[in-house]
Structure 1
Amino acid sequence: MSLQRTLNLLVLLATLGWACWVTAGGNLLPLNGLVQTEEQPPGYLGRIELNNPDGVAAALRRAESFYHGEGMREEEIPPLVLVIHGSEVGIFFKENYSQYKPIVDLAAKLAAFQVIDIRVCEASAQLMGLDIKTRFPFVGTVPYGPAEITRLIEVEKYVYF
């Protein structure tokens, strides 16, 4: 066998091997071109800096900015979880819509695009005299917000966003 024919055969075999590997789901580098040595966390927990409507709005804007920057390109990023407890739970109840319309509208849009997963504290809602049935349909509930935050961080290994 000639040297040229041997080289051609090796190139053909290498190309076929690579094509089979890619077809089977192989991935040399992620889409951003960076070699990842650590696994992605199972999820992200939104940090609300101020315990008031402005803090909730700021967290939503950070999530929206991330979505427009990185999140639209990454299909594997799960929705950012926002656990709302304390007086801020009132934002996500229908009877308060006119007061918090810009925040609710942004949250609804982000929830529709699966950028965020909002969960309100049932205990806080009850203390505020809110009927849990009147929350917006895109908002989930947890029995006690601080316990859910602890569970997500310590058990589920979420990281703050």
Structure 2
Amino acid sequence: MCLKPAVVLLSFFLLSALSLGQTTLAVDDEPAYLARIELHTAAELYDLLQRSQRLFQLSQQAPATPVAFVLHGAEAKVFFRQQYTANQALVDLAAKLSAFKVVDIRVCKTWMGGQSLDESQLLPFIGTVPVGVAEERRLLERQGYNYF
């Protein structure tokens, strides 16, 4: 079996970028990834988006399954219309990656309710999930996603 150098390089990059305990690669399938958000800051979110962009640039094509971003903390506030000006670079990168189907960003409705944030004020490329933690668990346990 002969692999193209770009595929080998991308595979090496992906494997080295993930924690080894979380990696479950299927032989015939391209893995799916869930962004691991721990600090819940805009800076952390921007770093993860830039990392997703680098993967896209290396492979020259969108992944078979976009990198899932499930937001349920303060980082989600950047995707509300009134925050666009303050977070323009981050939001523009997220919109571009979303348009190219590199990432899929969703915000927790339960978290929004607790913050008194109106879902109608989310930017148009941002989706929602009922409960963020439950969605993360579903992606990891039932859909076979790996942390990114």
Structure showing greater relative contact order (alpha-carbon pairs closer than 8 Å, 6 or more residues apart): 2
TM-score clears 0.5 = yes
The superposition leaves residues 3-52 of structure 1 with CA deviations (integer Å, 9 ceiling, x where unpaired) of xxxxxxxxxxxxxxxxxxxxxxxxx6554576x97233552111224211
Q: Cα distance 1:123–1:37, how it changes in 2: closer, same or farther (>3 A)?
A: closer
The residue identity in structure 1 corresponding to 2:125 is F
**Which residue number in structure 2 is paired with residue 113 of structure 1?**
100
Cα distance in 1 for partners of 2:107, 2:87 equals 15
Larger radius of gyration: 1
**Which residue number in structure 1 is paired with residue 132 of structure 2?**
145
**Identity in percent:** 37
Cα distance in 2 for partners of 1:97, 1:112 equals 17
The residue identity in structure 2 corresponding to 1:83 is V
Task: List, as ranges, runs of 4+ consecutive aligned residues in structure 1 with deviation greater than 6 Å.
Answer: none
Structure 1 spans left out of the alignment, 5+ residues? 1-27
- 1:41–1:157: 8 Å Cα contact kept in structure 2? no
The residue identity in structure 1 corresponding to 2:56 is Y
The superposition leaves residues 96-116 of structure 1 with CA deviations (integer Å, 9 ceiling, x where unpaired) of 111211111110011011110
Cα distance in 2 for partners of 1:81, 1:37 equals 18
The superposition leaves residues 40-70 of structure 1 with CA deviations (integer Å, 9 ceiling, x where unpaired) of 3552111224211111111101101111112
**Which residue number in structure 1 is paired with residue 71 of structure 2?**
84
Cα distance in 1 for partners of 2:40, 2:26 equals 36
Cα distance in 1 for partners of 2:26, 2:108 equals 36
Cα distance in 2 for partners of 1:65, 1:141 equals 25
- The TM-score normalised by the length of structure 1 is 0.73
| Aligned partner (choices 32, 40, 46) of residue 35 of structure 2 | 46
User: The residue matched to 1:51 in structure 2 has which SS?
Assistant: coil
User: The residue matched to 1:157 in structure 2 has which SS?
Assistant: coil
Structure 2 spans left out of the alignment, 5+ residues? 9-24
**Which residue number in structure 2 is paired with residue 124 of structure 1?**
111
